[in-house]
Structure 1
Amino acid sequence: MPDTIAEQTRLPSELFVDIDRSSPIPMYFQVATTIERAITDGILAPGARLENEIALGERLGLSRPTVRRAIQELVGKGLLVRRRGIGTQVVQRPVTRKVELTSLFDDLERGSKHPSTALLTREVIEADDAIAEQLSVPKGSPVLHVRRLRSSDGVPLAVLENYLPSEFTDITAEELQIRGLYQLLRARGTMMSVAQQRIGARAATSEESRLLDVKAHGAVLTMDRTAYNNNGKAVEYGHHCYRPDLYAFEITLVNK
């Protein structure tokens, strides 16, 4: 369905009062600079949708090609993105996450983001060979299997898949939708002490492409993690994938 003006962010005309039509600086560049400043100043929030090129051009008395080139300038800088059926949208600021024993939910909250969760799967299953090995439980043991779509400020960021041993099968769907997994484990008296983690990349599945709003079979970052409590018992195994344009891992290297 086409965008309506009500669904779009209409930039105040006064933002463009400094545009100088007699200046040797190209008009498209002046418009792009003004919109970029609106983004960095928070006037245009991540996820905001701009009014279409024709409407903006008419308000400013500029040609559509001039406005289009200004928008393309910001698309090239990674500040805007064009989405079919949605329009031009301010890009969500990338999440840079240190490789530490923390949860994505906690990291987003600390970064003044607004995490939200769509629960895709919550089921108690029997552990197969691979999951039994990761959690150090007998094959066939009941484990909680959870899949969630985690968004940041309304923009899909990651598909999170986790397996937890039988003592956590009482975690409810309602809890998983409003709190982070590590928050729920801490609330049950479980503290994560150490983890084994592997970071990689692969092509997204068709479902992941749809959920994360990335091109079909495009690349996604992956992380596999098994976390252990203070007693060395495995308390969760996770296999997660992330949008590479909005997510990065940060590692500090020390020369020894």
Structure 2
Amino acid sequence: MPDAESITRLITIDRDSPVPLYFQIAQQLQQLIESGTLAPGTQLENEISLAKRFELSRPTMRQAMQHLVDKGLLARKRGVGTQVVNDRVRRQIELTSLFEDLERDGRRPRTELLSMETLPAAGRVATALRLEPGAPTLALRRLRYADDEPIAVMENHLPADLLSPSEQDLAAHGLYQLLGRAGVTLRSAEQTIGARRATAAECRLLTEPRGGTLLTMERTVLGDAGRPVEFGSHLYRASRYSFDMTLTAR
């Protein structure tokens, strides 16, 4: 684990660059964290000491550190100082549930059921599930945690005849696991990923600062014979979550 002197040698500042000084520091610290050079749990010097080391003003160093705090790479803890956390959830673009992905990565998933009700299909839900308007759907809204930290709000709609889960089922298992146990086979999905600002209510649920950025994901899952079996609309904390994908050339 590098000490303060080593970190100073690993970071270079170009004072003639048009790139702001705070961003130069933040970007290089981020690279050290994501490469594992600065491991989770590493404690950094305070802003005053770091500012002196790099011959920067304290506001500039504070801005660099806050940038990394906002990205979920550093955490300020009272009585401890500033530590590397790098607890971002990285998820491959695959037809899997978030619950399963968190379990696989040893992230201790937990689910809080916000609502579960039978609602008539309407609008985009009816279109995605190819149901007649008014047909019954099972509507779920859940708050998903990783290691006791909220990371996603998930809304799911299913044809009402597919599944009748209990609150205990939804707390202990991922939705796709429950569908599999009910004999539903997942064949393919269409998915759209975007981003937007969080509402005040969403910030409270996800413990995001006001105006925080959320990743959005909408997915329609098809089962046997191409029948839609689930329409999901999910919100993820951009500071704690990213989608990874592998691209291949033609």
Tell me the equivalent position of 2:113. 119
Equivalent residues of 2:141, 2:155 under 8 A apart: yes
Equivalent residues of 1:94, 1:247 under 8 A apart: yes
**Secondary structure at 2:184's aligned position in 1?**
coil
Tell me the equivalent position of 1:129. 123
- Structure 1 residues 164 and 92 mapped into 2: Cα distance closer, same or farther (>3 Å)? farther
Quote the sequence identity (%).
40
Equivalent residues of 1:92, 1:155 under 8 A apart: no
Question: Which whole-Å CA distance do the structure 1 matches of 2:133 and 2:225 have between them?
Answer: 21
Alpha-carbon deviation of 1:80?
2.2
* Aligned match for 1:102, one of 76, 96, 107: 96
Alpha-carbon deviation of 1:91?
3.4
Tell me the equivalent position of 1:200. 194
Alpha-carbon deviation of 1:74?
6.5
Residue by residue, what CA displacement relative to the aligned partner does 1:195-247 show, whole Å, maximum 9, x if unpaired? 01000011112111111111223211000000011221111000001011111
* TM-score of the aligned structures, taking structure 2 as reference length: 0.72
Residue by residue, what CA displacement relative to the aligned partner does 1:131-184 show, whole Å, maximum 9, x if unpaired? 111111111111111111111111111111100101135112221112111111
**Secondary structure at 1:192's aligned position in 2?**
coil
Residue by residue, what CA displacement relative to the aligned partner does 1:16-43 show, whole Å, maximum 9, x if unpaired? xx99xxx8998xxxxxxxxx99x83x6x
**Secondary structure at 1:177's aligned position in 2?**
helix
Q: How many residues align?
A: 214
Tell me the equivalent position of 2:243. 249
Tell me the equivalent position of 1:154. 148
Equivalent residues of 2:163, 2:182 under 8 A apart: no
Residue by residue, what CA displacement relative to the aligned partner does 1:87-140 show, whole Å, maximum 9, x if unpaired? 967635111111111111111111121111111111111111321111111111
Any gaps of 5 or more consecutive residues in structure 2? 9-32, 54-60
Any gaps of 5 or more consecutive residues in structure 1? 1-14, 27-35, 51-56, 58-62
* TM-score of the aligned structures, taking structure 1 as reference length: 0.70
**Secondary structure at 1:199's aligned position in 2?**
strand
* Aligned match for 1:218, one of 205, 209, 212: 212
Code of the aligned partner of 2:180: R
- Structure 1 residues 97 and 24 mapped into 2: Cα distance closer, same or farther (>3 Å)? closer
Equivalent residues of 1:124, 1:169 under 8 A apart: no
